[in-house]
Amino acid sequence: MKVTIIGVGLIGGSMALKLKEKGLADYVYGVDFSENHLQQAKTLGIIDEISTLENAVESSDLVILAIPVDATRKLLPNVLDLVTEKQTVMDVGSTKSGIVNAVKNHPNRKRFVAFHPMWGTENSGPEAAKKDSFSERAGVICDKENSAEEALKLVEKVAENLEMNLLYMDAESHDIHTAYISHISHITSYALANTVLEKEREEDTIFQLASSGFSSTVRLAKSHPEMWVPIFKQNKENVLDVLNEHITQLRKFKSALEKDNYEYLEELIRNANKIRGILR
Does 119 bind a second copy (CB under 8 A)? Our answer is: yes
C-alpha triplet 163, 166, 168: angle, nearest 5°:
165
Q: Which of residues 57-96 bind a second copy (CB under 8 A)?
A: none
* 127-156: contacts with a second copy (CB under 8 A): 137-138, 140
Does residue 24 belong to the site contacting a second copy (CB under 8 A)? no
The answer to whether the beta carbons of residues 231 and 69 sit under 8 Å apart is: yes
Question: CB–CB of 218/117 below 8 Å?
Answer: no
Which lies closer to a second copy via its Cβ, residue 59 or residue 185? 185
Out of 39, 160, 172, 214, name the contact with a second copy by CB under 8 A.
214
CB of 102 or CB of 196, closer to a second copy: 196
Query: Using CA atoms, how far apart are residues 97 and 133, in angstroms rounded to an integer?
Result: 25
**Residue 91's closest CA among 107, 109, 235?**
109
Asked if residue 39 binds a second copy (CB under 8 A), the reply is no
Does position 109 interact with a second copy (CB under 8 A)? The reply is: no
For a second copy (CB under 8 A), the number of binding residues is 93
Closest contact distance (angstroms) between CB of 79 and a second copy is: 25
Least Å distance, CB 161 to a second copy, is: 20
Alpha helices by DSSP H, listed for 130-274, are 149-161, 171-178, 184-199, 203-209, 212-218, 225-234, 236-258, 262-273
Q: For a second copy, which is the closer residue by CB, 50 or 118?
A: 118
Binders of a second copy among residues 180 to 209 (CB under 8 A) are: 180-182, 184-200, 202-203, 205-209
Looking at beta carbons only, is 112 or 119 nearer to a second copy?
119
Minimum distance from residue 237 beta carbon to a second copy (Å): 9
CA distance 122 to 166: 24
The C-alpha atoms of residue 37 and residue 54 are separated, in whole angstroms, by 19
d(CA 20, CA 28): 8
Q: To the nearest whole angstrom, how small is the minimum distance from the Cβ of residue 217 to a second copy?
A: 4
Distance in angstroms (rounded) separating the CA atoms of residues 254 and 257: 5
Distance CA 61, CA 56 (A): 10
DSSP symbol at 223: S
- By beta-carbon proximity to a second copy, the closer residue of 53 and 167 is 167
Nearest CB to a second copy, comparing residues 59 and 123: 123
Measured from the CB of residue 150, what is the shortest distance to a second copy in angstroms? 26
Stretch that binds a second copy, among 7-15, 17-25, 151-159, 253-261 (CB under 8 A): 253-261
- Say whether residue 105 binds a second copy (CB under 8 A): no
Least spacing, CB of residue 179 vs a second copy, in Å: 8
In this chain, which of 61, 160, 170, 241 binds a second copy, going by CB under 8 A? 241
CA dihedral 165, 133, 221, 216 (to 10 degrees): 80
d(CA 127, CA 118): 20
